[in-house]
Structure 1
Amino acid sequence: MTLVDKEIILEPDRPIIDPHHHLWDWRGRVPHTPASRYSYDNVLHCTPRYLAEELLADVNSGHDIRATVHLECGSMYRRLGPTEMAPIGETEFVNGVAAMGASGVYGDRQLCAGIVGYADLSVGDRAAALLEAHITASASRFRGIRQSAAYDVDPEVIQQSPPRRSGLYCDARFRAGFRRLAPLNLTFDAWLLEPQLPDLIDLARAFPETKICLDHAGTPLGVASYGGRRGERFPIWRASIETLAKCPNVYVKLGGLGMPYSAFPSFMAQPRASSVQLAEEWRPYIEVCIEAFSPARAMFESNFPVDVLSCSYATLWNAFKRLAEPYTDTEKYELFFSTAAHFYRIQIDS
């Protein structure tokens, strides 16, 4: 599969903070046999390595990316020591990349200016020590936790190892750890699937003092038992998004729609989809999210390198700029820059 889809850059001077990307090196873990079309393993086949060099190539591909935020992905965990502390290794690793960016050797891009790590909040009160260890390891760049709850009763929808259980965000043990976030001024990134959105609504209402960001527009589904049913489920997804947006502590990331789970026609298309096609496919979901949350609580995200199966980094941001055309300059500034800067406490000139 070729990954070449070069487009002329739209609005190249518009400042951007990319609030959601990953870094990894899975070259020793890539499956030997090709994955099914809608399997996440296809990402690993295309991009088994995505480190500072690859990230720099993307952020320097034409758009004015001023800073980025790294989201946990199980990368570079500590091999030795207590299992609970293993994820601190990812923060240590990402902080090293952030230091490379801060040196100025690679230009003005502030790579990984914010770091969102992983801790199993289900350990309850013991989570405090894990959070403090992340903060110590990050040289003041640590911003919060993401603990994914993505699950469906149909095992073909999402395959995880080890398997996740249903109802994580409603679990009393998880919430005992979750309540440790706000006192440390830490945020929470939530990734779950569209049918699970009521769980996040309940969590947000129970902890109004904790800032939460819904990742990937709530991940609408179009695979396995949801195949061909995206239109049928759109009103259900929209109602959940509108209810969630009534919680003033919740924000939303506009992206992640290039992943396998939504199964848009652009996914793994040949020839590669243009930014025009991407914008048209994603528009109904993006517009609902912006209308519900307002630009002050919505931010475009790359979700790279995961979304590489649908387009290049440059084409992705072109699609977002097409989607933002109806909005005012002030609203565009929020969607591309200031909402992310506010949520993740990133101080950088625009």
Structure 2
Amino acid sequence: MIVDAHHHLWDPAARDHSWLDAPELAPLRRAFTADDLHPPARAAGIDATVLVQTVTEPGETTELLAIAATDPLVAGVVGWTDLTDPGITDTLAALASSPGGDRLVGIRHQIQLEPDPAWILRPEALRGLAAVAETGLVYDLVITPDQLPAATEAAARLPQLTFVLDHLGKPPIAHGRAEPWAGGLRALAARPNTACKLSGLVTEADWAHWTLADLRPYVEIALDAFGPRRTVFGSDWPVCLLAADYADVVSSARELTSGLDDEERAAVFGTTATRVYGLRPPD
């Protein structure tokens, strides 16, 4: 399978998406449905996708799983639940038994919005992460560079849990800097229970003027740190539309990985995501 391991669907009219209130995000302030995604994804040769949460509301995860139950493209869902809830084990079990629950492959929380850079190391958060591991799910990390050290410590404390770093940890591409992001990324990659996503990079660059040359150093650092067998491709659609259309995101990722051999490229574009998330082809 060729896998897009990171995209979203939403409808601001049906659920509050206050994060879209920023003026620069106005182009995203509309519904994006599976019907919108299918044509560009199929045209790009995508066989399966991982649908990822956008808001910290439990109802959204149930809705995403219901989509996955009937959508011919969605092979997995990374949802949200409150890590700090003492009843998280029961909540995860309820999600797994809901319509589409067999497509639940991971959990994530918008750690990037937490003011405490060590939020993930709070005892209640670590307890929740342990429950995620016990349920056989993956944990997606949506964090900023200053939160990489705490994420690395969490990965060290929970070797039984696989952590997947979304958007390479949001490197400062628009500013042309590598450190301290690169050092933090390499430290996380040194933990064998981690992987990373080549996703969300065009929106970390200058939206109007980015080039492949802007992205290449960060992709090379990530591939060197994690290796292709712990790296997955994700479009971050429709957020990517702020800077590039779906076809451009896919073609850019293919060009940026053109130096890999066939097996390594197959890993980035499919086999790593299939293994890490335990994906099976959509019905």
- TM-score, with normalisation over the residues of structure 2? 0.91
Note if contact 1:279-1:320 (Cα within 8 Å) is conserved in structure 2: no
DSSP-derived class of the 1:188 partner = strand
Q: 1:272-303: CA deviations, max 9, x gaps? A: x6xxx542211111111111101000011111
- TM-score, with normalisation over the residues of structure 1? 0.74
- 1:1-350 matches, within 5 Å, as 16-27=2-13, 35-37=22-24, 42=25, 44-60=26-42, 62-74=43-55, 87=58, 89-101=59-71, 110-123=72-85, 125-137=86-98, 138-151=100-113, 164-221=115-172, 228=175, 230-231=176-177, 234-259=178-203, 262=204, 264-265=205-206, 267=207, 269=208, 278-348=211-281
* Percent of paired sites with the same residue: 29
Letter in 1 for 2:89: A
Distance 1:136 1:278 in 2: 45
Distance 1:117 1:96 in 2: 12
Shift of 1:195: 1.4
Unaligned runs of 5+ in 1: 1-14, 78-86, 102-109, 152-162
Shift of 1:64: 0.9
DSSP-derived class of the 1:115 partner = strand
Change (3 A) 1:19 1:30: closer
Letter in 1 for 2:198: L
Q: 1:116-162: CA deviations, max 9, x gaps? A: 11011112x311111111111234111121012114xxxxxxxxxxx
The CA RMSD over aligned residues, in Å, is: 2.3
Q: 1:149-208: CA deviations, max 9, x gaps? A: 114xxxxxxxxxxx6544211111111111111221111001110111101011000000
Note if contact 1:258-1:308 (Cα within 8 Å) is conserved in structure 2: no
Note if contact 1:190-1:213 (Cα within 8 Å) is conserved in structure 2: yes
Larger radius of gyration: 1
Unaligned runs of 5+ in 2: none
Q: 1:41-75: CA deviations, max 9, x gaps? A: x1x53351111211213313x21100001111128
Change (3 A) 1:311 1:136: same
Letter in 2 for 1:93: E
Shift of 1:347: 2.2
Change (3 A) 1:34 1:213: closer
Note if contact 1:21-1:303 (Cα within 8 Å) is conserved in structure 2: yes
Shift of 1:348: 3.3
Distance 1:186 1:34 in 2: 32
DSSP-derived class of the 1:243 partner = helix
Distance 2:17 2:190 in 1: 41
Q: 1:240-294: CA deviations, max 9, x gaps? A: 11111110000000121123xx3x23x0x2xxx6xxx542211111111111101
